[in-house]
Structure 1
Amino acid sequence: MLTTTLSFENMHNHGELLVKLLKARRQSFIVQNNWDLPEAEGMEYDQYDTPASRWIAVHENGEVLAGIRLTPTTAKCGMYSYMIRDAQKGMLESIPSNLLYFEAPVDPDIWESSRVFISNTVPAKMRTKVQAQLMNQLIETARELGAKKVLGLVPAVWSRWIGRLGLLAEPAGPVMEMDGARVQVALMDLDHTHH
């Protein structure tokens, strides 16, 4: 099992991995979760998939098992910044604006994680290992990018597994119901995470 961080600068070194990641995102979010998201040629994408972002893929034998997108909270592309901030500003119909307890940060030390998924093809006995690899790569990549914290809209059960993985995070917003799933914004402190 491999874990790769993709960017616009290095994607040419990894063949079709980014395409496979976006196809796996489509399968997870559009097909399985029935979310109304943009798609083209079998891939899910949105306005935050820009050169400012990074994509992490856990993959094996040409199949993407899990993925996550990292975007700096300083990102700007037209009228958009990053998903959590734009939701708070009321720019996204699908995400409530009251998702944070505080004003969404614009800070080079804080990155946003979004589009987190583990493929439903991953057997139950492998899910914890895949999840650990995904989170370990998230931490390593975020630190390499200069992040001290990561803000993410995640399943509300995050507190059950985050400690098992040696991570330190705190709730950054209320638990909400979105598209049939209970979610919450969490803020992970990389300075106090043991990795």
Structure 2
Amino acid sequence: MQLHVFSFEHRRAFEAVYSGFLALRKLKLVDELGWGLVHDGHFEQDQYDRTGAVYSIVTQGGRVIAGARAASCAGNDGYWTYMLQDARDGKIPGIPGGLLNDYPETNLTWECTRFVMDETRADQAHPSIETKLVVAGLCRAAFGLGASELMSLSPQGLGPLLRRFGYQIRREAARYNCEDDGRQYRAFRMECDPGVNQYLAARYLSPGSATALREELKGAA
């Protein structure tokens, strides 16, 4: 098992991993959950896959089995900002506004999106290790680029799981039921603590990821 952490700008160096993540997103979100997302039949890629995004992806035997994306709440491309704020502004049909008490617009908060996992390939000997690695990788990358907090709109079960991993979680009060998959979602915020589970991340981190992260930090300095 390997953990790959890299930015959108470095995706060419992780081409197979990045493509595998997009393919898993299409499989899980479109084919299985029935989300009405734009795709090309093989990959699901959206407006938030852009400069500034970072990825934390786990592979097993060269195959992507879990992953997620994060981006600064200060980022924008002139129209799109981040998912929850764009939903508030009516740009994303299906996701209501008012899911956050306040909508951050600084680099201190990063939004995590597109978490997916292939449960059929999960490590039965180490339950939830894939999710733990994905989150640790996002913290590692985002903290190095200035984040103190991560935020996500996720199924309610993720919050308690992250607490068991050792993270400090604060859940927002508002909830909504997704018409596409029938699940209830809730936003939460989590301290971006680079010390939590980093021994595990370092153990599984791919050599290429270490190089990419050093380059990211050098560019941000």
Fold agreement, TM-score > 0.5:
yes
Supply the distance in 1 between the matched residues of 2:8 and 2:116 (Cα, whole angstroms): 21
Supply the distance in 2 between the matched residues of 1:131 and 1:15 (Cα, whole angstroms): 22
Q: Once the 2 structures are TM-superposed, how far is the Cα of residue 47 of structure 1 from its aligned partner?
A: 1.0
Q: Once the 2 structures are TM-superposed, how far is the Cα of residue 78 of structure 1 from its aligned partner?
A: 3.1
Alignment partner, residue 115 of structure 1: 114
Supply the distance in 1 between the matched residues of 2:135 and 2:41 (Cα, whole angstroms): 28
Q: Please identify which structure carries the higher helix content.
A: 2
Determine helix, strand or coil for the equivalent of 1:67. strand
Q: Once the 2 structures are TM-superposed, how far is the Cα of residue 192 of structure 1 from its aligned partner?
A: 9.2
Contact persistence 1:54–1:70 (CA under 8 A): yes
Contact persistence 1:167–1:193 (CA under 8 A): no
Unaligned runs of 5+ in 1: none
Aligned-residue identity in percent: 24
CA RMSD of aligned residues (A): 1.8
For residues 117 and 181 of structure 1, do their structure 2 counterparts lie closer, same or farther at Cα, with a shift above 3 Å needed? same
Supply the distance in 2 between the matched residues of 1:124 and 1:23 (Cα, whole angstroms): 20
Alignment partner, residue 147 of structure 1: 147
TM-score normalised by length of structure 2: 0.82
Letter in 1 for 2:98: N
TM-score normalised by length of structure 1: 0.92
Contact persistence 1:28–1:120 (CA under 8 A): no
Contact persistence 1:169–1:189 (CA under 8 A): yes
Q: 1:187 aligns with which of 167, 177, 189?
A: 189
Alignment partner, residue 175 of structure 2: 175
Unaligned runs of 5+ in 2: 198-221
Alignment partner, residue 19 of structure 2: 19
Alignment partner, residue 81 of structure 1: 81
Q: Which aligned runs of 4 or more in structure 1 are off by greater than 3 angstroms?
A: 191-195
